[in-house]
Amino acid sequence: MPDNSAAKYRRVSLLFAVSALICLPFANLNINTLDPWTELGQIGYGFLTPDFSNPALLLEALGKTLAFAFQGVMLGVIFGLLLALFYQKTIVRQFSAFIRAIHEIFWALIFIQITGLSSATGVLAIAIPYTGIFAKIFGELLSEVDHKPLNAIVKNTKTLNSTLFIRLPLAWKHIKTYTCYRLECGIRSSAILGFIGLPTLGFHMETFYKQGMYDQGAAILYVFFLLIGTSRFWLKSKLIPLYVLASFWLLPWSSYGDWSLLMRFITEDIVPAPLKQPDLTLTEKLHALGSWGAHRWHNEIMPGILNTVVLSQISLIFTGVISLILFPWISHHFLNKLGRASGNTVLVVARSTPEYLLAFIGLLIFGPSMLPGILALALHNGAIVAHLIGLYSQSIKLRDDASSGLNRYFFEILPRIYRQFLAFLLYRWEVIMRETAILGILGIPTLGFYIDSAFEEIRFDRAILLILVAALLNILVDQIATWSRTRLHIQHRPESL
Amino acid sequence: MSSVTNEQLLPIVSIENEQLSYASGKKAQPVLSDLNLTIQAGERIALVGKSGCGKSTLLRHLRSSLKEPAWCPQDPGLVPMLSVLHNIYMGKLNQYSWITNLFHLIRPSNEIKLDIQAVAQQLEIANLLQNSVDQLSGGQQQRVALGRALYQQSDVFLGDEPLSAVDELQAKRLLDHILSAHETAIIALHDVNLAFSFATRIIGLKDGQIEIDQATTELTPDDLMRLY
């Protein structure tokens, strides 16, 4: 077979398309509301008439959102950096992979059982997965530094010393840049944590939207857009220490909650129920555990995994399609300055709105099915990938007699961006899988749905088991994505995990 | 190919007292001033001069004044991920609707394949048609760019060092193909001997001016030395 790059890309794309097609019959795509257009109209009207009449509430929610984000991300940076120093050790890499495979909302659901709706819950829910993310990115940054200074030092210098004195200073600039980028993600995570009860922007948004107060809900969303949209003006590395200090004033450690339940949670609550029955022998206990496990498998794990995978694969394909449709909107190969500015605005709004929020609004409009989940994931992630490949396409220089319009799109630009496009899509795959599980909390029967139900029924053993399953699924997808990238010879720094 | 001779005097492009500059990215391109030039159909012109003397600027200007000439730029501008076949096909993109082009991108018709096969055979790359361009050597890539220009089937060929990466013998063979396929050819070259072997007229550029513009029969290779 002749060596042909385009054919290789086509085979990979076809593989993804086929996997989505196989998933399609299993997907519930019904519209379950009687009149989606009226609901949509009312939500739209709310956006036109936002109600800012309660600035005190807006300000407090805004402050709390930022405080959770800054404290959580800062703890993540500190512990992530510590882990990154030892990132060459397999155990550290696996540990980091594991803690970041559990979504911040799942961490929050766990901590709510121990410390209630306290500051600790919100801060730790962000800090723990972000530690895993920072460990990975910082670890890679440290290993990729210029090797010349390392070769110049005394041969038997301890690894830790050379890391601290050479690698860390060399990588410091990138570490700072990445931390700033992650802070923006942290703000999004913090806002979303409101949906499970913490006092951030998401909390009020959910309350207002559930009560049909779309004008007040829209006001919160506008504040959120303003916050993210202006971040490059105020989110500067020099100001971060100041923000962290301010966050302790807004969210003092004294409100960190009661830890007395921790031991009980670990030693009793999460132990599978059959093992806790006092009057059984060991063999009887193991037997009961077996049927308990089988029951979990048939009723929760299998349907949960199936729905998570089905929703992810379909969303992944739509993400790809949307990004390929949208990226020309911000590329000078297709549009003038004015056109590109409009494209940029649309992409900024779509990518700064968390998919959870989009899905929430989608559910109000379409009712509970996979449709709002697919739309939300595809729109948000599609806008991110479109932004990245749009930027990349700007660096392509065409010859003088290159074609224009759709001929230019299909023959000149698309083949040239396709490798990067696949790379970004593969990086988003794991993110989509993580988010898909989370959408279960909104009522789409993915793993998150069963996890949320288990917490509601106070069956912590079941909840923890399902969270572990979700984590393993994420790790598996991450492995497949890494393997595919190597096969395709795509090496590209991830913009986000 | 109709045999149009110089005596018929059909100007295809005429430049009078023009000043040419070409902004291309950040790199400033050489400027040509007080330019007077008329090119007749049927002429075979070699464009010579030191690198950076304005050959590319002049060729670009000619390209924009002519109606869809076959264009073979110095930087081949190929799409590396696409096959040789598709890169050659791109010479005719403007002759079909975009939807037809899209079909041919996914599955080229047999007719198209045969046409392109014929072009590729002349350029000695017929065995590479299905390979993507990123797998080819520099000389092979240059021939693909040449193939794209030939496939345009235009009357006029404009080439900017189109043979710089192939060996001498092959350059002669390729040049023959270019000449037999185009009524008029204007080719920038650094190889003076190759220029004398085909051109009916030689234009030499120096310091932003036309230094030499004469029929080849009136020149010897030594006359060109003052350009360098």
Amino acid at B134: D
Classified as helix, coil or strand, B52 is coil
pLDDT higher than 80, residue B23: no
Set of chain B residues whose Cβ sits within 8 Å of the Cβ of A2:
83, 128, 130-131
B109 and B215 both lie in a single domain: no
Q: How many domains does one find in chain B? A: 2
> Which CATH number do you get for residue B191?
3.40.50.300
B220, part of any domain:
yes
Contact partners, residue B79, CB within 8 Å, separation at least 6: A411, A412, A415, A416, B86, B87, B90, B133
B 101-120 → A contacts, CB under 8 A: 101-102, 105
Give B46's pLDDT tier (boundaries 50, 70, 90): very high
Domain boundary at B123, B153, B183, which? B153
Contact partners, residue B169, CB within 8 Å, separation at least 6: none
Query: What is the nearest CA distance from B118 to chain A, expressed in angstroms?
Result: 19
Query: What is the nearest CA distance from B217 to chain A, expressed in angstroms?
Result: 34
Give A495's pLDDT tier (boundaries 50, 70, 90): very low
Q: Is A45 on the interface with B (CB under 8 A)?
A: no
For strands B32-40 and B70-72, give the pairing: unpaired
Residue B81 is nearest to which of A2, A397, A416, comparing CB atoms?
Answer: A416
pLDDT higher than 70, residue B7: no
Mean pLDDT score, A6-34:
89
B113 and B217 both lie in a single domain: no
B53 and B106 both lie in a single domain: no
B149 and B81 both lie in a single domain: yes
Q: In this complex, how many residue pairs, one in chain A and one in chain B, have their CB atoms less than 8 Å apart? A: 72
Query: What is the nearest CA distance from A320 to chain B, expressed in angstroms?
Result: 18
Burial of A131 (0-12, 13-18, 19+ CB in 10 A): buried
Distance CA A222, CA A47 (A): 9
B165 and B65 both lie in a single domain: yes
Give B4's pLDDT tier (boundaries 50, 70, 90): very low
B 134-193 → A contacts, CB under 8 A: 134-135
B105 and B209 both lie in a single domain: no
Q: Is A489 on the interface with B (CB under 8 A)?
A: no
Mean pLDDT score, A128-148:
89
Query: What is the nearest CA distance from B33 to chain A, expressed in angstroms?
Result: 22
pLDDT higher than 50, residue B6: no
CB within 8 Å: A419 and B25:
no
Tell me what percent of the residues of chain A surpass a pLDDT of 90: 57
Query: What is the nearest CA distance from B35 to chain A, expressed in angstroms?
Result: 22
pLDDT higher than 80, residue A415: yes
Set of chain B residues whose Cβ sits within 8 Å of the Cβ of A488:
none
B142 and B167 both lie in a single domain: no
User: Angle at CA B95, nearest 5°, toward B91 and B98?
Assistant: 95
Amino acid at A206: E
Instruction: Decide if A65 contacts A190 (C-beta within 8 A).
Output: yes
Query: What DSSP state is assigned to residue A237?
Result: G
Burial of A46 (0-12, 13-18, 19+ CB in 10 A): buried
Distance CA A232, CA A181 (A): 10
Mean pLDDT score, A418-425:
90
Task: Please count the helices (runs of H) and the strands (runs of E) in chain A.
Answer: 23, 0
B34 and B146 both lie in a single domain: no
Burial of B135 (0-12, 13-18, 19+ CB in 10 A): middle
Amino acid at A277: Q
CB within 8 Å: B93 and A6:
no
B1, part of any domain:
no
Domain boundary at B153, B187, B219, which? B153
Q: Three-class SS string for A277-319?
A: CCCCCHHHHHHHHHHHHHHHHHHHHHHHHHHHHHHHHHHHHHH
Please report the pLDDT score of residue B147 as a whole number: 96
pLDDT higher than 60, residue A417: yes
For strands B184-188 and B209-215, give the pairing: unpaired
Q: Which two tokens stand for residue A162?
A: 């050379």
CB atoms within 10 A of CB B143: 28
- DSSP codes joined into one string, B57-111: HHHHHHHHHSSS-EEE-SS----TTSBHHHHHHGGGGGGS-HHHHHHHHHS--HH
B3, part of any domain:
no
B126 and B149 both lie in a single domain: yes
Residues in chain B, how many?
228
List phi, psi (to 5°) of A290.
-60, -45
Which of A363, A419, A378, A430 has the alpha carbon at shortest distance from A396? A419
Q: Is A398 on the interface with B (CB under 8 A)?
A: yes
Beta strands in A146-192 (DSSP E): none
Give B3's pLDDT tier (boundaries 50, 70, 90): very low
pLDDT higher than 90, residue B105: yes
CB within 8 Å: A405 and B73:
no
Residue A411 is nearest to which of B71, B79, B80, comparing CB atoms?
Answer: B79
User: For the CA atoms of A312, A317, A320, A326, what is the dihedral angle to 10 degrees?
Assistant: -100
B93, part of any domain:
yes
A171-180, A253-262, A407-416, B30-39, range with greatest mean pLDDT: A407-416
Distance CA B213, CA A120 (A): 84
B60 and B173 both lie in a single domain: yes
Instruction: Decide if A304 contacts A293 (C-beta within 8 A).
Output: no
Q: Which two tokens stand for residue A217?
A: 């809900």
Longest alpha-carbon distance in chain A:
85
B167 and B55 both lie in a single domain: yes
Report the Cα A134 to chain-centroid distance in Å: 14
Residues in chain A, how many?
497
B148, part of any domain:
yes
Q: Provide the mean pLDDT of chain A.
A: 89
CB within 8 Å: B132 and A3:
yes
Q: Is A394 on the interface with B (CB under 8 A)?
A: no
Distance CA B211, CA A103 (A): 73
Residue A4 is nearest to which of B75, B76, B132, comparing CB atoms?
Answer: B132
Distance CA A58, CA A249 (A): 18
Question: Residue B39 is inside which H or E element, if any?
Answer: strand B32-40
Instruction: Decide if A440 contacts A453 (C-beta within 8 A).
Output: no
| H-type alpha helices, chain B | 55-65, 84-89, 98-106, 110-122, 138-151, 168-181, 192-198
Give B151's pLDDT tier (boundaries 50, 70, 90): very high
The pLDDT tens digits for A170-213 are 888 888 888 988 999 999 999 999 999 999 999 999 999 989 99
Distance CA A445, CA A451 (A): 10
pLDDT higher than 80, residue A86: yes
B2, part of any domain:
no
Which residue range(s) make up the domain with B149? Answer: 77-153
Domain boundary at B134, B153, B172, which? B153
CB within 8 Å: B77 and A4:
no
Please report the pLDDT score of residue A144 as a whole number: 80
Q: Is A14 on the interface with B (CB under 8 A)?
A: no
Residue A415 is nearest to which of B79, B101, B130, comparing CB atoms?
Answer: B79
Q: Provide the mean pLDDT of chain B.
A: 88
For strands B23-24 and B11-20, give the pairing: unpaired
Phi-psi region of B184 (alpha: psi -120 to 50; beta: other; left: phi over 0): beta
Instruction: Decide if B70 contacts B154 (C-beta within 8 A).
Output: yes
pLDDT higher than 60, residue A40: yes
The pLDDT tens digits for A455-469 are 999 899 999 999 999
State the complex-level ipTM: 0.85
Task: Find where tokens 């989940």 sit.
Answer: A373
Burial A417-449 (b: 16+ CB within 10 A, else e): bbbbbbbbbbbbbbbbbbbbbbbbbbbbbbbbb
Bigger pLDDT: B35 or A305? A305
CB within 8 Å: A401 and B90:
no
B94 and B129 both lie in a single domain: yes
B167, part of any domain:
yes
Give A1's pLDDT tier (boundaries 50, 70, 90): low
Set of chain B residues whose Cβ sits within 8 Å of the Cβ of A406:
98, 101-102
Set of chain A residues whose Cβ sits within 8 Å of the Cβ of B71:
399-401
Q: List strands edge to edge, sheet with B201-206.
A: B70-72, B156-160, B184-188, B44-48, B201-206, B209-215
Bigger pLDDT: A489 or B129? B129
List phi, psi (to 5°) of A222.
-65, -40
Task: Find where tokens 């050479």 sit.
Answer: A166
pLDDT higher than 50, residue B1: no
B198, part of any domain:
yes
Mean pLDDT score, A391-404:
89
Task: Find where tokens 């509601």 sit.
Answer: A456
Helix axes B138-151, B168-181, angle to 10 degrees: 10
Q: Which two tokens stand for residue A292?
A: 């308990």
